Structure 1
Amino acid sequence: MILTKETLSAGPKIGTGEGVAHSKRWYVALVRMHHEKKVAERLDKMGIENFVPVQQEVHQWSDRRKVVESVLLPMMVFVHADPKERKEVLSFSTVSRYMVMRGESSPTIIPDEQMVRFRFMLDYSEEAICMNSAPLARGEKVRVIKGPLTGLVGELVTVDGKSKIAVRLNMLGCACADMPVGYVEPIGGEKSNKLKKSIL
């Protein structure tokens, strides 16, 4: 699926599935180390939608540099499946189980809206995406209005003294990218002190 900025801002029908009668949900399959892409290839052949988040990194040596593709969430593959397909995926010898919330027996569901924002961020961000699994205080809800991530809705947070746009993913923490404060606007209500200072 190719995501566009129009897709992202198309409204609630993307995130909530309103008006769409299907039982497919996004799950996180836990796979054997370094088998993320192989599992994805097999799922593709079976016609089961999946997503392995990757990004390019530049590795520098003394005599050369090389751009490599790295997996952002090792040993995890996002799977968009109905109940029957969900069971079929567990038949893979390289898949151990689905991510489950503590105290629950059913696999954790990643809301469609979170997946749309996460994939959009990976597709369009010019900055490296980092996953923050540590508890992160909720930031102000904002919309990006400048730069390649224009249209993205997320939270404005501060990590290690830097302002970032964050997209939360159930059980996985936050996907974060550097974001100048002046590139966002608050959604509803007045500007926070942080946003006010950026325009003074």
Structure 2
Amino acid sequence: MALGLNTNLLQWYPVYTNPRAEKKAYEALIKKGITTYLPLRKTLKQWSDRKKWVDEPFIKSYLFVHIKPGQQTDVLMTKGIARFIYFAGKVAAMPDRQIDDLKLVLASALDVEVTEEDLQPGERVRIKAGPLKDLNGEVVAYRNQKQLALRFESIGCSVIVYVGASLIERI
């Protein structure tokens, strides 16, 4: 099989939105018929008179589109979209597995956070039990604790998951 760009292949692409425009950009892309994923998580917000649970973007100013390369202009012409994310001089494409892993992390009841800090690669591990069983990642020292970092290099951030050492194994 020859290596080359298949222009009919649907791929996931991370897209940078204007500040606080993730939900509106998501809705506009859906109206255009573009498969879009906006990872959200519930957060308890405090106002002077009340508290309320709200859905907030898990990764601020990011959403993900599942498109053919030829549809990039249509995405960029959507209100709220700032630009595609580039990695090594090319528009960053993400494997389906990374989107599936992100969905799995958000569906779990684990305490997670996103960091743009450039974490140094550590020992490769697999989670042995729990809602993230069989998920692979790298162990990193972060704030003096051992945690599992799932690296999403194509968008330049890592997802930190607090997992006990007894739940991981070396691979």
* Segment drifting more, 145-154 vs 57-66: 57-66
Taking the aligned partners of 2:64 and 2:85, their CA distance within structure 1 comes to 10
SS state of the match for residue 84, structure 1?
A: helix
Taking the aligned partners of 2:45 and 2:34, their CA distance within structure 1 comes to 33
Q: Percent identity?
A: 27
Taking the aligned partners of 1:74 and 1:43, their CA distance within structure 2 comes to 17
Contact 1:141 1:186 in 2 (8 A): yes
Deviation at 1:62, TM superposition (A): 8.1
1:44 aligned to which of 8, 12, 30: 30
Q: What residue identity is the alignment partner of 2:132?
A: L
Taking the aligned partners of 2:79 and 2:47, their CA distance within structure 1 comes to 37
List 4+ stretches of structure 1 deviating above 6 A. Answer: none
2:147 is the alignment partner of 1:168: no
2:95 aligned to which of 87, 92, 111: 111
Taking the aligned partners of 1:140 and 1:63, their CA distance within structure 2 comes to 47
2:138 is the alignment partner of 1:138: no
* Corresponding residue of 1:180: 164
Contact 1:141 1:155 in 2 (8 A): yes
Deviation at 1:181, TM superposition (A): 0.5
* Corresponding residue of 2:4: none
Q: What residue identity is the alignment partner of 1:158?
A: A
2:133 is the alignment partner of 1:150: yes
2:74 aligned to which of 88, 97, 103: 88
Deviation at 1:42, TM superposition (A): 2.0
Taking the aligned partners of 2:159 and 2:55, their CA distance within structure 1 comes to 18
Taking the aligned partners of 1:134 and 1:107, their CA distance within structure 2 comes to 21
* Corresponding residue of 2:107: 123
CA change 1:162–1:62 in 2 (3 A) is farther
Taking the aligned partners of 1:96 and 1:177, their CA distance within structure 2 comes to 29
For 1:42-81, what aligned pairs fall within 5 Å after superposition? 42-60=28-46, 65-81=51-67
Deviation at 1:146, TM superposition (A): 2.0
TM (norm. structure 2) is 0.84
Taking the aligned partners of 1:71 and 1:145, their CA distance within structure 2 comes to 28
Taking the aligned partners of 1:107 and 1:81, their CA distance within structure 2 comes to 12
SS state of the match for residue 68, structure 1?
A: strand
Unaligned runs of 5+ in 1: 1-20, 188-200
Deviation at 1:173, TM superposition (A): 1.9
